[in-house]
Amino acid sequence: MSPPVAGWAAGEGPPEPRRPSEVIPARRLLRRLVAVVAEPTTPQQRLDKIVRMIAADLVAEVCSVYVQRAGDFLELFATEGLAREAVHRTRLRVGEGLVGTIAATGDLINTSDAQNHPNFAYRPETREEIYNSFLGVPILRSGRVVGVLTIQNTARRLYGEDEIDAMQIIASVLAEMFASGGLLDRERYADLGGFVPERRRLEALRLVEGVAIGRAWLHEPRIEITRLLADDPAAERVRLEEAMVALRSSLDRMLARADLASGEHREVLEAYRMFADDTGWLRRIREAIDTGLSAEAAVRRVQEQTRVRIGHAADPVLKERLLDLDDLANRLLLHLAGRSTVHDPSSVPEDCILIARSLSAAELIEYDRAKLKGIILEEGSKTAHVTIVARALDVPLVGRVSGAMTLFEPGDPVALDAENGIVFLRPSEDVLQAFARTVQARNERRRQLAALKDAPAVTRDGVEIWVGINAAFLADLPALDETGAMGIGLFRTELGFMTRPSWPTVEEQSAFYRRILELAGDRRVVFRTLDIGSDKHLPYWRAPAEDNPALGWRAIRVGLDRPALLRGQLRALLTAASGRSLALMFPMVAEVAEFEAARRLLEQERDRLAASGVAPPARLEVGVMFEVPALYWQLEALLPKVDFVSIGSNDLLQFLFACDRGNPALAERYDVLAPAALAFLRDLVERCRARGVPLTLCGEMASRPLEAMALVGIGIRRLSLAPSEIGSVKAMIRSLEASRLADYLAPLLALPDRSLRRRLAAWALDHGVVLPPGQSIPT
């Protein structure tokens, strides 16, 4: 509840004269409170002294501190004015009594008649029946109520705004002092619910399957407040204003990025930027500084109040705005501390579970994959580029974990079950042991699947499936031998550009592509030319502003409008493949004319190299990525001109359903196993087969065994997928009768159903098709 207007209850007498110095906690009080922690006494003695000091300075007859303990109850830990024998004896459940109500709601209570308050709960051992006035405020830490601070008086009165402010400031200082361990005997009270972090079980959206155990690492660092008080409020205000200028400048630079220059996401970010000028938010911080807090402690105090409101916000719009304020407070604290807004990715510890609000593909690539065990996002979707890269790196990933950046503390133990979409924060020993067994079982399953690496990918009725991998780095090439893959069906050349500080020269590109071909040996490698744009940005190249980057200037459109860039890459590829076989394809082609224009540039580069005496590739195959639905109605003109077609199912289905794959709100709205999607793909298969043009699918669909099974059922015979999923997909293929599945699936494609997922999973179960545990049960 909000505090009532200060004043006297109706019918009561005038207040006793009170000097401001008796009401407002002078800076000397705050300093004395902090100094108590350093005294060579026991934690209990320090806390006892603190409540006496607060009572004296606020002219209160009673001052008490309640601490939340495990089991959701609050215990009286210290008091001045109540019966001493009630200390460590009086307990109230969260939600019980005035103190329990404050703990449950995170709001203060200010009343002139405590015993007639509807939430009052009497505890006779306290002997508090003589006190009428009551003011209680929450002690907040990391967005949670960890205790309650109260004052009481016999005279009936509402406490004034100055007294409320004083209590809230004192409570914020106490929270930091509690966290430091100076006021609570941790050895004696090891179960303190507010300070021993609680265990949590969190639901999440499955993005990349896997199981991991590790420790939390925040993508954006959190600032610990080491200096609570300041001698010079004016100087702290100056520090605050300088940090605000730096914060606003950083936000303006973010908004100036070309990819964020327009569109709906631009409006969201502009609203976020406006919060940096929120007068009410800044006023509360300045007022906290005026009480004697440092600028950092003042920001943290306002942030803790915001976090409590987040926990109780039912309106999603309000909650999102409060989350923005919380994020701004984090950024402001970083500026006050003079620190970067993100960690150095190279400094992550071993067994890292990365926690982030959102993450781009480029940011993920910067992390050491050997140390990265899992990723937890507040946002995220199944076909976002960061999901694709995480799957390629074989890193378990979940999304849609609300408030993750607030819930997780750096170093917290985490058990991540990305198979079932569950995260255990600070798990018990039993849970950790169960996860260890699961990891062991998963590793054993992988060893069993690895035994299939030399086995052919042939169905039980003799249908051979070409199974290759998707790759982007030299480090991906060993997977060819490790998995028994037949080649690389998609080599994403743009990811190598994204990890460089500057545009690579033609010579550097050529050396890189040559090494790829050497490592692949006689296995086919299909290079995709640069697919930059949308959410894949190069740090050294600024693209123009767009309303909708996913449908904008990207991929082949960039290459044709900036032919020097595309020609340079084509020259590098042709040079690298001198005397070898070369297969390349152009992405995001929307019309035959675009393919023909790109093909002409390729021929020009081939003629140029021939004139300079460079031997051409022994064999050259040129294909197209089928991602834009409009190309379907141009197949009669296109197919005679291409050597192969590769379906990019991620973008194709995004465009087919008019569904932004990076939008978390739409992450599960449409299913790739919808009859409409499968029917569209089946028709594409049949038209390519009729023309004798090889067709491969290299999107995320191929990396999930159930989806891959459906693709085989509609006639696709070439799959390129994440290396980590080769074993599972091959096991599925070898246990499948493709003809029986095709007969079953054909009539289903005319159904009006949203998805065929449950039907296909049930069919697989009935017919002994081997699927991973997470996909064998219909969902």
- Kind of pairing between the strands at 718-721 and 466-471: parallel
Has residue 403 got a pLDDT over 70? yes
Structure-token pair, residue 210: 């896997």
Cα torsion 196, 199, 205, 208 to 10°: value is 80
Q: Which residues contact 543 (CB under 8 A, 6 or more apart)?
A: 258, 259, 532, 533, 537, 549, 553, 558
Whole-number average pLDDT of the chain: 84
Region 358-375: mean pLDDT is 82
Has residue 466 got a pLDDT over 80? yes
The predicted pLDDT at position 598 comes to 97
pLDDT tens for each residue of 9-20: 333 333 343 333
Has residue 779 got a pLDDT over 60? no
The predicted pLDDT at position 719 comes to 98
The predicted pLDDT at position 665 comes to 67
The predicted pLDDT at position 775 comes to 62
pLDDT band for position 213 (50/70/90)? Answer: very high
The predicted pLDDT at position 193 comes to 46
Euclidean distance between CA atoms 127 and 123, whole angstroms: 7
Question: What 8-state DSSP symbol labels residue 15?
Answer: P
Span of 199-208, 239-248, 665-674 with lowest mean pLDDT: 665-674
Span of 126-135, 139-148, 311-320, 667-676 with lowest mean pLDDT: 311-320
Structure-token pair, residue 167: 């209590």
pLDDT band for position 310 (50/70/90)? Answer: low
Q: Which residues contact 718 (CB under 8 A, 6 or more apart)?
A: 465, 466, 468, 489, 694, 695, 696, 697
Has residue 777 got a pLDDT over 60? no
Euclidean distance between CA atoms 567 and 506, whole angstroms: 10
Euclidean distance between CA atoms 728 and 715, whole angstroms: 19
pLDDT band for position 543 (50/70/90)? Answer: low
Verify whether residue 352 is a known catalytic residue.
no
| Residue written as token pair 């215990």 | 75
Cα torsion 679, 683, 688, 692 to 10°: value is 110
Most confidently modeled of 205-219, 328-342, 354-368?
A: 205-219
pLDDT tens for each residue of 419-453: 888 999 988 887 888 888 888 877 777 788 888 88
pLDDT tens for each residue of 499-524: 676 788 999 999 999 999 999 999 99
352, 385, 537, 688: the catalytic one is 385
Higher pLDDT, residue 778 or 117: 117
| Residue written as token pair 């076989």 | 581
Rounded to 5, what percent of the chain is helix, strand, coil? Answer: 45, 15, 35
Residues 659-676 as b/e (b if ≥16 CB within 10 A, e otherwise) read ebbbebeebeebbbbbbb
Has residue 739 got a pLDDT over 60? yes
Verify whether residue 385 is a known catalytic residue.
yes
Has residue 64 got a pLDDT over 50? yes
By CB neighbour count within 10 A (0-12 exposed, 13-18 middle, 19+ buried), where does 408 fall? buried
pLDDT tens for each residue of 258-270: 444 444 445 555 6
Strands (E) located in 466-528:
466-471, 487-492, 524-528
Order of strands, sheet of 133-141, starting from the edge strand that comes earlier in the sequence: 91-93, 73-80, 62-69, 144-153, 133-141, 109-111
pLDDT tens for each residue of 139-186: 987 667 889 999 999 999 999 988 888 888 888 888 877 776 667 766
Encoded amino acid at 36, one letter: V
Most confidently modeled of 30-34, 613-617, 641-645, 774-778?
A: 641-645
Closest by Cα among 500, 625, 642 to 555: 625
pLDDT tens for each residue of 65-104: 999 887 778 999 999 999 999 999 999 999 999 999 999 9
Helix H, strand E, coil C: the string for 584-610 is: EEECCCCCHHHHHHHHHHHHHHHHHHH
Has residue 536 got a pLDDT over 80? no
The predicted pLDDT at position 697 comes to 97
Span of 130-134, 424-428, 758-762, 775-779 with lowest mean pLDDT: 775-779
Span of 403-412, 502-511, 543-552 with lowest mean pLDDT: 543-552
The predicted pLDDT at position 317 comes to 57
pLDDT tens for each residue of 95-146: 999 999 999 988 999 999 999 999 999 999 999 999 999 999 999 876 678 8
Structure-token pair, residue 174: 């106490």
Higher pLDDT, residue 403 or 493: 493
63, 352, 688, 698: the catalytic one is 698
pLDDT tens for each residue of 18-32: 333 343 445 677 777
Euclidean distance between CA atoms 769 and 732, whole angstroms: 6
pLDDT band for position 588 (50/70/90)? Answer: very high
The predicted pLDDT at position 645 comes to 98
